[in-house]
Amino acid sequence: MVFSSIPFLFFFLPLFLIVYYLVPFKRKGIMWKNIVLLIGSLIFYAWGEPIYIGLMLFSSLVDFYNGKMINKYWHEPKIKKLFLVISIIINLSLLGFFKYADFIIANINNIFNLSIQPLNLGLPIGISFFTFQTMSYSIDVYRGKVNYEKSFSTFMTYVCMFPQLIAGPIVRYETVSEELHHRKINYSLFNQGVIRFLQGLFKKVLIANNIGLLWHEVSTIPSLELTLVMTWLGILAFALQIYFDFSGYSDMAIGLGKMLGFHYLENFNYPYIAKTITDFWHRWHISLSSFFKDYVYIPLGGSRVSKIVNIRNILIVWLLTGLWHGASWNFVLWGLYFGIILLIEKFVIAKWLKRQNNVVKHAYTIILLLIGWAIFASSDMLYPKEYLLTMFFGFDRFISTKTIYYFCSYFLIIAIGILFSTPLYLKITNWLNNVTNPKLKLIYSLIFIIIYMLLFVISVAYLVSDTYNPFLYFRF
């Protein structure tokens, strides 16, 4: 979501919500709220990427038609499978062309010493998400998990829903199929949605952006000027930035979904409290992990195969996971890095890990994650190598006055980030919900409202001032 876009925040969203709530759900067989949602979503997408609306419409039309044909030829397996294959080929071709064409050209040039000109195509916003969504629909219709959608406008509404269109979570048709036709909107759900949206906004604007400034500073320092302490401080900042950035967006998407009557699945579950890398990937970007599990890992045979084939399946999934994040060798290396760690955890050190106490397991997990983020954070393959060497062997450059300055300047926001990457807030709200004294409950509620109002004003002030406001998952 383009949160640096003040017109969107202050004009589009309130206006859209007013129109959305005023129109009836259904009249004369037409789902009017879906029509408003579809039009609003197309306007939203056009605001940031008008040139590629046609691409999203084409992708939607392809999978709507294939779903219809799969249903039509349900009792003719070969024809039914043909339309599934068509869906997969077209979706992966679109994704591959726009996302990986220049990467392939660059590697061909390097290998064969050629000078083929890159296409320099702009990456369509959200293409990694909406192609996976439409493709999963065709697959699920083929598997009989969902009924095919008869209305193209309803299917387009599913594909284009603006809360999660740009950067997820990946919403499967089965999750919202019932709510596309029958959903409820009430004060309680709206209130939950507003609170969840604001939580995401605070995560993104107040925590991710401010911690991100530290990583931005460190990542622009020449490698020879880095110190050991600075590299750990910088990559910790990146780890917190990417978590609050992406989970903040997911919170906003889930919150907006609730305001509209939809229940999107959770995408994060406090991943930094994980005690193994396997546990971490059950908690981080859950919609992507479950997508690869259900549509790649299990069809390949999952774990119900020989050990060698299981190893192959895990490596394939993690190679694809790395590539999904971007057309760069550091993402490939990052994916294989985690794939290998997961294999080691499963086949080599599983018993050892179980014997360790929680402190050891958590330290083990965080250290491996920070190494992974160092690989992930830069597309220049030399920089992660030099960065990691300094992280572990830079004792001759242990600390500097600049490192101390960064530590003092960013200590508070890092501490806040670490605290709120744990279930601290959840425990506080659960405690407040269990308060039975009416007067105390009222006082706590008023304090809660005042804090949220103050944080909202501060967030808007940050946005209006055009301060540092990247969104990391735009590029994926």
Question: H helices within 377-400, ranges in order?
Answer: 382-393
Which of the following is catalytic: 75, 282, 285, 325?
Answer: 325
Yes or no: say if 270 and 421 are a contact pair by the CB < 8 Å rule: yes
Phi-psi region of 326 (alpha: psi -120 to 50; beta: other; left: phi over 0): left
53 Cβ contact list (under 8 Å, min separation 6): 42, 45, 46
User: What span, in angstroms and rounded, lies between the C-alpha atoms of 309 and 316?
Assistant: 10
Contact 127, 55 (CB under 8 A): yes
CA 475/CA 324 separation, integer angstroms: 11
- Closest residue by Cα to residue 248 from 200, 197, 198: 200
Q: Indicate the pairing of strand 30-31 with strand 26-27.
A: antiparallel
Do 263 and 276 form a contact (C-beta atoms < 8 A)?
A: no
Amino acid identity, position 51: I
Catalytic (active site) residue 325? yes
Q: Minimal CA–CA distance to 245: which of 208, 287, 282, 300?
A: 208
Compute the distance between CA of residue 156 and CA of residue 358 in angstroms, rounded to an integer. 47
Contact 244, 204 (CB under 8 A): yes
Token output for 351: 């018993």
What does the angle CA 305 – CA 290 – CA 355 come to, to the nearest 5 degrees? 70
The CA distances from residue 234 to 25, 407, 411, 416, in Å, are 50, 10, 12, 16
Which residues does residue 31 pair with via DSSP β-bridges, in sequence order?
Answer: 26
DSSP letters along 326-343, please? -SSHHHHHHHHHHHHHHH
Q: Catalytic residues, which ones? A: 325
